[in-house]
Amino acid sequence: MQHSKGFNLEEEYKKYKNVLKGAKEGEVVTRFPPEPSGYLHIGHAKAALINYHYSQIYKGKMIFRIDDTNVEKEKDEYVNSIIEDLKTLGVKWHGDITHTSDYFDYLIEKAEELIKEGKAYCDPTPVDQMRDERLKMVENAYRSTTPEENLKIFRAMCQGPVDGVEEVKNADDYCLRAKIDMKSPNGSLRDPVLFRVNVKPHHRTGTKYRCYPTYDFCCPLVDSKEGVTHAMRSNEYSDRIPQYNWVLQACKVRPVTIFEFSRLNLQYTLLSKRKLQEFVDKKVVEGWDDPRFPTVKGIIRKGLTVEALTEFMLAQGPSKNTNLMEWDKIWSINKSIIDPLSGRFSALSSKNLSTVEVTNVPAGHVEPVETPLHPKEDLGKKVIFQSSKLLIDYEDAAALEKDQIVTFMKWGNFKILEVVKPEAGPVAVKAEFLPDNKDFKKTVKLNWIADVDTVKLILVEYDHLLREKKLLEEKEMPFEKQLNEVTKYVTDAIGETALKDVKLHQYIQLERRGYYKVDKIHEIDGNKVPELIYVPDGKTKPVIIKQNFLKSHTLLNF
């Protein structure tokens, strides 16, 4: 797929030149180190794209490392999904995929060095108490334990009982902490945890290890070990930079330059992995690829192109300003990319579908007419049928008046002869084709379909899960009250014959409705029934289907 007209990657790259401190062309090494405990979302996508494109700007390379230190939450399913998503995003990495678990022995070795130098100690303090002590800047007695005793405890943590005998009593209750500064105004320097015991099998190394490093300990060390020159991270973690540098200096390894970029904040967007998991568990959504989710799979399924996402990210430049951004900008870019690819088709809501009898066309007459799929692009042609019996939307039919001149798109002007509007149900219209009337400037334009070989369609439109632009704290408003009650709108529709040929993931435009992406093709009663997802175009307007009626919906039951 092509980028939007006017987009020039080399010109965009110029914004980023001379931004990285100490960067040398051909020597820059970046890295993308996701934790395999969930699916990548749009925030992760920004991090991946930033790291990848900076490596390209400086003709360097990007390392792709799986940070597999969280035994409780990691799954091979997530690893495979992350790899798939990076390929979808067009992010290419140098060499083989690496894993933090490749370096567990090295990290244990570095931890022992810190212990021997009195820079780390073992502490059995319960988590809640430790959190409270850190908050109140209180040093506990374990800080003064000798290096020899700490080393003995740490090795017992890593080794576990031998033949059922504990070398150190209750060693599994300990964690290893850095001895930095409990009085520091920066909370991340108040003796952070470096290692914890976890006896659950690791998804990759099994039961070989039972004591695992924290992200804040392993990340700087593995960055240095793998030759990373610039560690790029969102500026929401600014307070952790001193801790990152402390680990490098205390362990006497090669320094790494940190480069911060602005965190991606989008209106009506929920990025909390825990809360998204709740939606999945309660079956409020279809899964992690649900179009209402900000996951890479979700937004791509909703119709966002990788090209639009890339253009949006690069357009922000190297700014560190964090703003709450609108989705409209992304969807507007996306529209400029998908419009040239989207053939034009007609579709009508099945609800109260109304009829038009064309009085000056012989009854039963059907005439095929070839017409371009796109008014400007060469996408080929389609065949539409002109006949004596047409179908139009109920709302259009109900608005017609006797003697009115209207335009049936891709056919011509018609004079309305009769409109029968019952109290309930479809409207019946009689009209006369006016072949010599070519004045289309002031006429109402109507979609129509010949009542010949029509195609059943399912049109789906998704609203935001959040009704608030920004997720508020629970004390400001309970989470449940910040959610839209109805977020999925479904319309049964029929389309023109040419829609039989649409393919999975194809972009189309339903005239007077908007852009759609073919999400599924069902087999119903031996016929193919495409399910189309509405693709926003960046315009501020109510949900298309919501304007008319609610056919079916999904409630958020919390």
Residue 307 has pLDDT above 70, yes or no: yes
Percent of the chain whose pLDDT exceeds 70: 97
Residues 328 and 362 grouped into a single domain: no
Which residue segment(s) compose the domain that 517 sits in? 455-548
Residue 163 has pLDDT above 50, yes or no: yes
Domain assignment present for residue 3? The answer is no
- Please tell me the least confidently modeled range out of 396-410, 453-467, 472-486: 472-486
Tokens of 487: 């977020």
Distance of CA 24 to the CA centre of its chain: 33
Residue 145 has pLDDT above 50, yes or no: yes
**Among 276, 303, 336, which residue terminates a domain?**
336
Residues 190 and 120 grouped into a single domain: yes
372, exposed or middle or buried, with CB in 10 Å at 0-12, 13-18, 19+?
middle
526, exposed or middle or buried, with CB in 10 Å at 0-12, 13-18, 19+?
exposed
What's the average model confidence in pLDDT over 48-70? Answer: 96
Q: What are phi and psi of 107, to 5 degrees?
A: -70, -35
Residues 111 and 167 grouped into a single domain: yes
Q: What are phi and psi of 160, to 5 degrees?
A: 80, 180
Looking at the annotation, which residues are catalytic? 35, 263, 273
For the chain, what is the domain count? 4
* Per-residue pLDDT at 508: 98
Return the bridge partners of 532, or none: 459, 518
Residues 131 and 158 grouped into a single domain: yes
Q: For position 436, which CATH number holds?
A: 2.40.240.10
What's the average model confidence in pLDDT over 473-483? Answer: 86
Residue 317 has pLDDT above 90, yes or no: no
* Per-residue pLDDT at 540: 54
What's the average model confidence in pLDDT over 246-252? Answer: 99
CA distances for 529 relative to 458, 507, 517, angstroms = 7, 16, 14
- 546 pLDDT tier (thresholds 50, 70, 90): low
Domain assignment present for residue 556? The answer is no
* Sign of the alpha-carbon dihedral angle for 462, 468, 472, 478: negative
Residues 508 and 426 grouped into a single domain: no
What's the average model confidence in pLDDT over 355-377? Answer: 96
- Please tell me the least confidently modeled range out of 337-346, 386-395, 466-475, 495-504: 466-475
- 31 pLDDT tier (thresholds 50, 70, 90): very high
Residue 535 has pLDDT above 50, yes or no: yes
- 315 pLDDT tier (thresholds 50, 70, 90): confident
Q: For position 270, which CATH number holds?
A: 3.40.50.620
Residue 552 has pLDDT above 50, yes or no: no
Residues 33 and 179 grouped into a single domain: no
Distance of CA 220 to the CA centre of its chain: 27
Residues 40 and 176 grouped into a single domain: no
Residues 258 and 281 grouped into a single domain: yes
3-state helix/strand/coil string of 304-370: CCHHHHHHHHHHCCCCCCCCEECHHHHHHHHHHHHHHHCEEECEEECCCCEEEEECCCCCCCEEEEE
Residues 26 and 70 grouped into a single domain: yes
Residues 58 and 98 grouped into a single domain: yes
Residue 553 has pLDDT above 70, yes or no: no
* Per-residue pLDDT at 541: 59
Specify the 3-state DSSP secondary structure of 527: strand
* Per-residue pLDDT at 125: 97
Residue 549 has pLDDT above 80, yes or no: no
Contact predicate 424/394, CB 8 Å: no
Contact predicate 248/220, CB 8 Å: yes
Which residues make Cβ contacts (< 8 Å) with residue 446, sequence separation at least 6? Answer: 392, 396, 406, 407, 408, 409
Distance of CA 429 to the CA centre of its chain: 46
Residues 150 and 256 grouped into a single domain: no
- 548 pLDDT tier (thresholds 50, 70, 90): low
Q: Compute the distance between CA of residue 545 and CA of residue 558 in angstroms, rounded to an integer.
A: 25
Residues 222 and 324 grouped into a single domain: yes
Q: Compute the distance between CA of residue 532 and CA of residue 219 in angstroms, rounded to an integer.
A: 43
